[in-house]
Amino acid sequence: MSQNHRTPSGVFTITSHLSFLILLFVVQGCNQSPREPLPILATIEVPYTFTDQDNRPVAQKLFAEKIYVADFFFTSCPTICPIMKSQMLRVYEKYKDDQRVVLLSHSIDPEHDTVEVLRDYGARLGIEADRWHLVTGNKEEIYHTAKRYGLAAMEDKNAPGGFIHSGSFTLVDRQGRIRGYYRGTEAEAVNRLIDDIAWLLNED
C-alpha cells in the first residue's frame, strides 16, 4: 500500500523566503558603496607653545604628520571633565601603541593646573605623556587656541568650578585639518571617533 509523502504546508514557503533573504543579503553586501570621506571643516593653526606634564614644550609642529584628538578641560572640573577623560581614555587605550596617533588636552585653568598637578593627574589616569599630552600655559593663549578649534573656553564665576568649556573632542588629520567633532561625554560618539581615526589612518 503506497503512502503519499506530502510536504507540510508552509515549509516550501518558508524555505523560499529564507533563500530570498540570503540572496538579498549577498547582493547588498556586494553592492555596498565605499564609505564617504570625512569632511574637511577647517585648517587649524596654533602659533603658541604650551608645556606638558613632563615639562616639555608642546607646539603644533610636534603633531606634524600625526592624527590627533584635542580637547579642553581642567583638573578640578566637577561636571563633565571626569566623563570626558574616561571616554578619552578609551581612545588612548585603542591607539596608545600607534605612533601615528596622539592626544592633546589643554587645561583652561593654568593657574591651578601646573606641570606638577598635570603630572599627578596623568599618573592617576595611567597615561604616557608622549602619547597623551596634558598641557598648561598662558591662559589667554589657551582660550584663543580653543577659538581656533571652534570651541568655547572661558572663566565664569557662576559656573560649577568657575569655568565654562566645550565638551567636544576635535579630530585633526595629518595635514592639520579638522575632520570632525564628537561629544566627549557620549560613548556612542566616541565609538564613531575611534572608527574615524582608523579610517583616517588608511586615507590616501
Q: How far apart are alpha carbons 70 and 68 in whole angstroms?
A: 7
9 within domain boundaries:
no
The pTM (predicted TM-score) of the whole model is 0.81
14 within domain boundaries:
no
Instruction: Please write the tens of the pLDDT for every residue from 108-126.
Output: 999 999 999 999 999 999 9
At residue 204 the predicted structure's pLDDT band, cuts being 50, 70 and 90, is low
Contacts of 95 (CB under 8 A, 6+ apart): 101, 131, 197
CATH number, domain containing residue 128: 3.40.30.10
20 within domain boundaries:
no
Q: How far apart are alpha carbons 77 and 175 in whole angstroms?
A: 32
At residue 92 the predicted structure's pLDDT band, cuts being 50, 70 and 90, is very high
Instruction: Please write the tens of the pLDDT for every residue from 44-63.
Output: 999 999 999 999 999 999 99
Instruction: Please write the tens of the pLDDT for every residue from 152-194.
Output: 888 888 887 778 888 899 999 999 999 999 999 999 999 999 9
6 within domain boundaries:
no
Strand partners, 70: 104, 170
Q: What's the length of the chain?
A: 204
Q: What sign does the dihedral 50-53-54-60 (CA atoms) show?
A: negative
Q: How far apart are alpha carbons 134 and 150 in whole angstroms?
A: 19
Q: How far apart are alpha carbons 61 and 58 in whole angstroms?
A: 8
For residue 161, give the C-alpha cell.
Answer: 568650578
120 within domain boundaries:
yes
Q: Which residue has the higher pLDDT, 1 or 103?
A: 103
Average pLDDT, the chain: 85
Whether the Cβ atoms of residue 176 and residue 190 lie closer than 8 Å to each other: no
Domain span at residue 59? 42-201
36 within domain boundaries:
no
28 within domain boundaries:
no
Contacts of 70 (CB under 8 A, 6+ apart): 103, 104, 105, 106, 149, 169, 170, 172
- Number of domains within the chain: 1
Instruction: Please write the tens of the pLDDT for every residue from 18-42.
Output: 444 434 344 444 444 467 899 999 9
2 within domain boundaries:
no
| Strand 132-136 versus strand 101-107 pairing type | parallel
Whether the Cβ atoms of residue 121 and residue 108 lie closer than 8 Å to each other: no
